[in-house]
Amino acid sequence: VLPPSFVDIFNEKVAKLTCKVSNLPTVEGLVISWFKEDRQKLETKTTPRVLQANGLYWVEGVASVCADEWNKEEVYTCKVSHPELLFPKKHCNCTANS
Interval 22-40: pLDDT, tens: 999 999 999 999 999 878 9
CA atoms within a 13 Å half-sphere pointing along the CA-CB vector of 4: 27
- pLDDT tens readout for residues 73-82: 788 999 999 8
DSSP state of 9: I
Please, what is the Cα angle at 84 between 81 and 90, to 5 degrees? 30
Q: Which of 12, 7, 14 is nearest to 62 (CA)?
A: 14
Q: Is position 90 within any domain?
A: yes
Q: Report the chain's terminal Cα–Cα distance, integer Å.
A: 11
Q: What is the rounded CA–CA span in Å between residue 27 and residue 15?
A: 26
Residue 40 lies in a domain: yes
Task: Write down the pLDDT at residue 84.
Answer: 80
* Residue 68 belongs to some domain of the structure: yes
Q: Which residue has the higher pLDDT, 94 or 98?
A: 94
pLDDT band for position 91 (50/70/90)? low
> Which amino acid, 11?
N
pLDDT of 97 over the 80 cut: no
Q: How many domains does the chain have?
A: 1
CATH number at residue 74: 2.60.40.10
pTM: 0.82
Let me know if residue 69 belongs to a domain: yes
Instruction: Output the average pLDDT for the chain.
Output: 86
Q: Is the pLDDT of residue 98 over 60?
A: no
> Is the residue at 1 inside a domain?
no
Range of the domain at 41: 6-94
